[in-house]
Structure 1
Amino acid sequence: MSSTILALKNVSKSYGRGAAAVQVLNDIDLKIEGGTSLAIVGPSGSGKTTLLGLCAGLDQSTGGEITLNGVLLNGLNEDQLAAVRNEHVGFVFQNFQLLPTLTALENVMVPLELRGMKNRKANALNLLDKVGLADRATHYPSQLSGGEQQRVSLARAFANNPKILFADEPTGNLDAETGALVESLLFDLNRSSGTTLVLVTHDLDLAAKTDRIVPIKGGRIG
């Protein structure tokens, strides 16, 4: 039986202070079981990406509590949050966020190096092979297509064997055919790794492939 890997209790987020404060999220309650997949869907400006950032420890909530794999994120400083992310979390972003001065192989090796893992090169090459890019290992991001860059970012996301993977519009910058390939790889890697997947998307066809869909509108879960 799976246990809860991510729990949000009365979570809110606002920016600014006083009369100028903008409330982005209101009283969010959410529990996600380990090994499952979930899609957060909603219109632009609904708070999807803000919610994802809070769940992943990229930002701090204004109110409420967030517990990630048994760690209470509230009150942690930036270094502590970074350590939690490095230990438990993988990321896939819409705009790839690969380091331009590193090759595909070196990009995948970054999280392995941060954790001081052994056999870094062999593990990174294995991951590149899983996404069909072993022959592009020495290429730089500028030498890769958008789809190839996203596949490299997928390999990097799984490099540290994350407990939970957060994907923000992972196919948003890709054409339909390339997006379908990335989707397939994402779900295949997630399944084989036993990772929990939380993705933000406006693509309802993509969302339908997850175990659970959570709609959000006006900063509230519907």
Structure 2
Amino acid sequence: MSLCAGAISFGDVYWPRFGARMLASIERADPQPDQILVVSDREIDVPSWVELVVVEQGRRFLMYNDLAQHCRCDWLLPVGVDDEMMPDGFVPVESDADVICYPGQQVGEATWVAATTDPNALAGAWNAPNNPLNGGVIWRTSTLLEIPVRDYIYQDEVLWAEWSYFGKTLQLDSRIRVVWHRWRGSNSWPANTEGERQAQDFKRKLREGLIQKGIPE
């Protein structure tokens, strides 16, 4: 598999605080990804071995679609700016699926690993009451271009629901590839009732046939 490590940076909090640590973890990895790409909504300092794409502000999680547009590889592994890759985090895995889910390690809890264990988790995501896919992901780039991320608070749950509804496939991988750092003030720290409402409303629209595949609402 050809593999791109991709990160999105929006706002002025994450990159100054965590960007150098994240890039250092990628630089230490063996093997290296085939492409290292950062999409940012402002100019940021990156080393010469990182490709930087600057887009307009306000896109937030839609910048995952910008990653896909500039990705030259078959697969895209999104890396959180505030996270770290494991030294063997880019070991390739052969797959015919549309998305690969892998476990990760949460910092400070050495025995705790989050991972999707149900191989049918994606198949039922469009009708699930919550997000059934835990862990990190490696997207098939062509599938993300076909059905891109939508502008929702819980964009990952909405993406899985749409991929699920239109028959995309999941493969599970047992390799721990990332260290997740949870910290107060991060985008994912608090629960968001509006995000939950949006996700359930989107799934309702899917069930009622109101969503066109990959077409903005």
So what's the TM-score if we normalise by structure 1? 0.29
Q: Which has the higher strand share?
A: 1
So what's the TM-score if we normalise by structure 2? 0.29
Q: Which has the higher helix share?
A: 1
Q: Which has the higher contact order (CA 8 A, sep 6+)?
A: 1
